[in-house]
Chains A and B, each alone.
Chain A
C-alpha cells in the first residue's frame, strides 16, 4: 500500500521559515493537500492541489510538490502556527502522512 512519510517534528523560531516535508513514491504525480490540527481541535485544510490556499488561510502558507516530495512552507512563522500538520494524497486509496508536530519556540 502507498505510504507518505513526514518527519515527526520540526522546530522553528518565531519569524523564521518552517519547512515540513512529505515523501512518497512519485508523489509529484499526485495532488497533495495539507491539514493543520491544533490540540483538541479538528483538522483544517491549509493547502490543496499542491499549492492552492483555501480562503482564510494566511499568505505565509505555501506549498509545492515535485518528484517524490511535497513541501509545506510557512514563512514568518507565528506562535499560532504551532500545531500538527498532516499531508494527504490519493493513490488507489486515500492516504495520510503520519503527521509532523511543528514547535515554534
Chain B
C-alpha cells in the first residue's frame, strides 16, 4: 500500500527557504512507470503544479516557479525533496507530493498535504 508522508517546517519567514521532504513507502522512487511531483494549494484556492522528478532523475518545473525551486530525489532513502527560495506570503499553501503516472501525467495517490505558512 503506497504511502507518501511529508515532513518539514510549517512556518517559514519571508525571504527564507522552504524545505520539505516526502518519504515514499510501498513503492520505489526508482520505479520506471512513475514520476514524483510536488503540487501546492493556497488556502481556499486552486491547485498549482510545482514540478516533478522522474525515476531517472529528469526534472521539470513550472516555469512560473523555476527560478526559485529545486526538486531532488534520494533513492537510498526513497524520498523526494522540495526547496523553494525567497518565499513570500504568496507561497503560503498546503504542499502535496504525489505519484505521477508518466504517460498521462495524472497524480495518484496524493499525500495528505502539509500546510506551510510564510510569516514573520
Stretch at the interface among B12-20, B22-30, B44-52, B84-92: B44-52
Given A86-B47, A94-B49, A99-B47, do A44 and B110 touch, yes or no (CB 8 Å)?
yes
A1–B110 CB distance below 8 A: no
B108 contacts partner chain A, Cβ-Cβ < 8 Å:
yes
Looking at the complex, which one of B48, B105, B109, B110 makes contact with A90 (CB distance below 8 Å)? B105
Can you give 29 contacting A-B residue pairs, CB < 8 Å? Answer: A1-B63, A31-B105, A33-B104, A35-B47, A35-B107, A42-B96, A42-B110, A42-B111, A42-B113, A43-B47, A43-B110, A44-B108, A44-B110, A45-B106, A45-B107, A49-B104, A49-B106, A54-B108, A86-B46, A88-B106, A92-B63, A93-B60, A93-B63, A94-B62, A94-B105, A96-B47, A96-B49, A98-B46, A99-B46
Segment 41-88 of A: residues with Cβ below 8 Å from B: 42-45, 48-49, 54, 86, 88
Interface residues of B (CB under 8 A from A): 46-49, 60, 62-64, 96, 101, 104-113
Q: Which residue of B lies closest to A86 (CB)?
A: B47
Beyond A48-B104, A48-B106, A96-B49, 20 extra complex contacts between A and B, CB < 8 Å = A1-B63, A31-B105, A33-B104, A33-B105, A33-B106, A35-B47, A42-B111, A43-B96, A43-B110, A44-B109, A45-B108, A48-B101, A49-B106, A86-B46, A88-B106, A93-B49, A93-B60, A94-B62, A99-B46, A99-B47
Give the interface size class of chain A: 20 to 34
Task: Select one of B48, B64, B105, B107 contacting A43, CB under 8 A.
Answer: B107
Provide the bound-state CA to CA distance between A25 and B106, in Å. Answer: 20
A48–B96 alpha-carbon span in the complex (Å): 19
Task: Name the residue in B47, B48, B64, B96 with the highest tally of chain A Cβ atoms < 10 Å from its Cβ.
Answer: B47
> What is the bound-complex CA distance between A33 and B63, given in angstroms?
21
Chain A residue numbers with a CB within 8 Å of B60 are 93
